[in-house]
Amino acid sequence: MATDLPKSLAQMAVEVLTTADGRAKTALSRQHAATWFAARAAGTSLPIGTANPPLRPARPEQPELLDPRDVPRRKPGSPQGRIALLHAVAHIELNAVDLHWDIIARFTDTEMPLGFYDDWVKSADEESNHFNLMCDNLEAKESFYGALPAHAGMWRAAEDTADDLLGRLAVVPMVLEARGLDVTPGMIRIFQQAKDTQTIEALNTIYAEEVGHVAYGSKWFNYLCGRHALDPKEQFHALVRHYFHGALKPPFNEEKRADAGLPPDFYWPLSDQTPPSYAR
């Protein structure tokens, strides 16, 4: 009798990418991550395999996706403003779940050490928890993910770098996720002023774990540059200028960026402001 072959990691990634409902997507994501790590703990590993990830992941019918200019702005000091902020973060987290599974499924032609997959499966699992935490917080405030419109175009960086693993690492973890490290402390302060301990706890979890995602980006970017004898800083500058639209915005969280292996001479030259003298 033929035994069923284990699913490949790439197949599991595509299953997550093609699941539309947010909670269902994150449940499957966490289940697949647990399967991957159970095999690794047993001293084996699932095959990486190959798959055809969709150009764009499946998403729920709600929220309505609008051009960023058309998403209404609300005052962050009001309860409605805080709900809008959490809704925007939930949207970013759901996008991040898909981004981490996409990098697993899309670049299987490039042979990578198993640690590359460990890092992105772990990140996808953490992003799934982040999305669930934001949904729990929205629901505690009698709202939900899908209640408000959200930014369209979050997937643009993924589409732009669909053929370029170095470009993907430069733009997604090392620019977009690093930006999260810059803005999260300010968000935490907004919820501290509102004495909202549930949200503060959730944002602190996100803040701590996102340092890891930026670090994985930096680690594998440097690794691939080394494989091809490329200068990482020059490559980073060229790829971000090519794929990322606009300048990087200070103030930068230099301490957390350093924790994540991002030195100032990587990001300051891409900003539209003069760096402090020590950064030259």
Residues of this chain that interact with Fe ion (CB under 5 A) are 93, 96, 127, 130, 177, 210, 213
Pick 86 or 96: Cβ nearer Fe ion? 96
Cis peptide before 63 (omega within 30 of 0): yes
Least separation in angstroms between residue 131's CB and Fe ion is: 8
Residue sitting closest to Fe ion (CB): 213
Least separation in angstroms between residue 5's CB and Fe ion is: 31
Pick 96 or 105: Cβ nearer Fe ion? 96
Query: Sign of torsion, CA 138 27 221 161?
Result: negative
Least separation in angstroms between residue 165's CB and Fe ion is: 17
The CA-atom distances, in angstroms, between 20 and each of 35, 91, 135 are 21, 13, 16
* Overall residue count recorded for the chain in this entry: 280
Least separation in angstroms between residue 177's CB and Fe ion is: 5
Indicate the residue type of 40. R
Rg (CA), the chain: 19
Pick 198 or 274: Cβ nearer Fe ion? 198
Residue 56 to residue 259: CA distance in whole angstroms: 32
Pick 174 or 234: Cβ nearer Fe ion? 174
